[in-house]
Structure 1
Amino acid sequence: MMSLPELFREESEVLTRSQAVAAQSTLSAGDYRDALLLLSRDYQRLMRETYRMISRSDRAERELNRANEQLQQLAQALEYKASHDPLTAVWNRGAIIQRISQTLQHGAAALIILDIDHFKKINDEHGHPMGDRVICALVARIQAHCPEAASIGRIGGEEFTVLLPHYRLADAVIVAGAIHASLNAAPLAVLPGQLVTASLGVSYGKPGSGFDALYSNADAALYDAKNHGRNRVFFR
């Protein structure tokens, strides 16, 4: 890195010569004029170089700002990918478990677990691409019947959770019933020839309780629904 004297060596030389001329009282007017012209030319050169330096600095600042924006966008994209299911765009398993645990630390919550009935048969008869479309359409149907405060997560292939912060068990059962009724009211648009139904289990967790107990109770209720013929809502 250049030192300050090295950086302004030419300017220092011109300034020294100008000061030497100014210190003399016996020079002719032409000598003083030449010294002033030399100082003026050097000042103009310094102005041009300063302008170029400022322009480069402004350009570097703009490039740095763009780079920072790109880094922020990349960080947001990575955070989104790390917490969301790539097919349905709802919370993935790890993220929804974390949200459930954090919610229970601050208050009560209800949980719905939903499992698509006979999903393997859909894949076998219509192919996996259709199975993916069914999953996405079903998630959209769930979202349409959930309150704004709900968080939907994908726990497994065709298994989903709906976290309902500060909901009582009875109110969560009403939400689960609305989802269940919607699935039985009309086929999904992607598979109009048949109903796609689901079994649902509902549970309630007190403030300070853990994820494991809340999930286990909802999961047990889900298996009650399956053992009683599927396509129904049970709670514990």
Structure 2
Amino acid sequence: MVDPKLTDEPARMAALDRYDVLDTPSETGFDRITELVRSILGVPISAVSLIDKDRQWFKSHPGLAVSETPRDVAFCDHSIRQRAPMVVNDAREDARFSDNPLVTGDPNIRSYAGIPLETPDGYNIGSLCAIDTVPRQFDPGQIAILKNLAALVVEQLELRRIAERDHLTGALSRRAFLSEMNRAIALFERHERPASLLLFDIDHFKRINDTHGHPAGDQVIRGIAQLCTGLQRPSDSLGRLGGEEFGILLPETAEEDAASAAQRFCEAIAATEIPGTPPLRVTVSFGVAELRGDWPTSESWLAVADMALYEAKRSGRNWIAVARHDASHAT
């Protein structure tokens, strides 16, 4: 009987997209697992492989020099089509892989064991694999270890997803937002794709807490996050960076359009009555910084936007300031 979740590609891709993990930097939790695979199974290569629409992307890949391959040559693309482990003892003797460029050239795969990474709702989004450059047998004990470690990979993905969201607002956590910024920086460096950062916080927020109490302050934070989520484009990312401070990442957006977007957000927030007891109106101040080569890290980019935000505050609040192009000299 055919398992429908093994053939429903749109649903499988949706399951992968929910983790928002593709093209993110390496993370210790995943690297520890692949290093354990290499150590325990005695293989030179291990990878956490995720199968995207037309590529195989590696979240962790010790022993491999590349971070992705075309999907049509991926051993792991075969692995996700079944529930059981996939074992290849000698790729040159296997008709599916004998002329595969990953076998005939670098990294010269000869043997492979892959465990599907099955999400809690039953979709295989990739695999944890052990790879050797010589033919070999993987014994049942080694496969059992690999299965347990694959389950840990899925747990890491689940924990990562939980940690990425701020519990009060549903916005990205600071860590997750910085990860999105790093992704935008990588696109800028590789393909010169523009991006801009809007950094804003709530004017006189301490006064709200002191006058109306912290529950009212939380309601204001939640209300502003909901408003911004409704106003932003699907490609934009909203993050709560701490307290009453937020960031909005605008991909494919240069400075002029970013400043216009900040103006729209600023005006919409000022015009909105946030429900509560009592209902409240607030304003926010924005710092705008287009990504430039002068600030090539998330920390330096954030610092430049923060300088602009400080300038907006100093100008009277409910204001927008754009980062100076020479701002990096002051960071």
CA deviation profile, 1:3-46 (whole Å, cap 9, x unmatched): xxxxxxxxxxxxxxxxxxxxxxxxxxxxxxxxxxxxxxxxxxxx
Higher relative contact order (Cα pairs below 8 Å, separated by 6+ residues): 1
Q: Which runs of 5+ in 1 are unaligned?
A: 1-60, 62-66
Counterparts of residues 165-180 of structure 1 (less than 5 Å): 165-180=251-266
Cα distance in 2 for partners of 1:87, 1:168 equals 30
Output the amino acid matched with 1:69.
P
Which of 152, 156, 160 aligns to 1:79? It is: 160
Please name the residue that 1:233 is paired with.
Answer: 320
Please name the residue that 1:113 is paired with.
Answer: 199
Please name the residue that 1:146 is paired with.
Answer: 232
Question: More helix by proportion, 1 or 2?
Answer: 1
TM-score scaled by structure 1? 0.66
Q: Is this contact kept in 1: 2:184–2:251, CA < 8 A?
A: yes
Cα distance in 1 for partners of 2:312, 2:232 equals 20
Q: How many residues align?
A: 171
Call closer, same or farther: CA 1:74–1:213 in 2, change over 3 Å. Answer: closer
Please state how far the C-alpha of 1:75 moved relative to its aligned partner.
5.3
Please name the residue that 1:190 is paired with.
Answer: 276
Counterparts of residues 148-163 of structure 1 (less than 5 Å): 148-163=234-249
How much identity, in percent, do the aligned residues show?
A: 33
Q: Which runs of 5+ in 2 are unaligned?
A: 1-83, 85-117, 122-150, 189-193, 324-331
CA deviation profile, 1:112-139 (whole Å, cap 9, x unmatched): 0010011111111111112111111010
TM-score scaled by structure 2? 0.48
Please name the residue that 2:221 is paired with.
Answer: 135
Q: Which secondary structure does the structure 2 equivalent of 1:136 belong to?
A: helix
Q: Which secondary structure does the structure 2 equivalent of 1:155 belong to?
A: strand
Output the amino acid matched with 1:147.
R
Please state how far the C-alpha of 1:193 moved relative to its aligned partner.
4.3
Cα distance in 2 for partners of 1:76, 1:210 equals 25
Which of 113, 117, 120 aligns to 1:69? It is: 120
Cα distance in 2 for partners of 1:89, 1:193 equals 21
Call closer, same or farther: CA 1:101–1:191 in 2, change over 3 Å. Answer: farther
Call closer, same or farther: CA 1:68–1:229 in 2, change over 3 Å. Answer: closer
Please state how far the C-alpha of 1:190 moved relative to its aligned partner.
2.9
Larger Rg: 1
Q: Is this contact kept in 2: 1:134–1:191, CA < 8 A?
A: no
Q: What's the Cα RMSD here?
A: 2.4
Question: More strand by proportion, 1 or 2?
Answer: 2
Cα distance in 2 for partners of 1:213, 1:84 equals 23
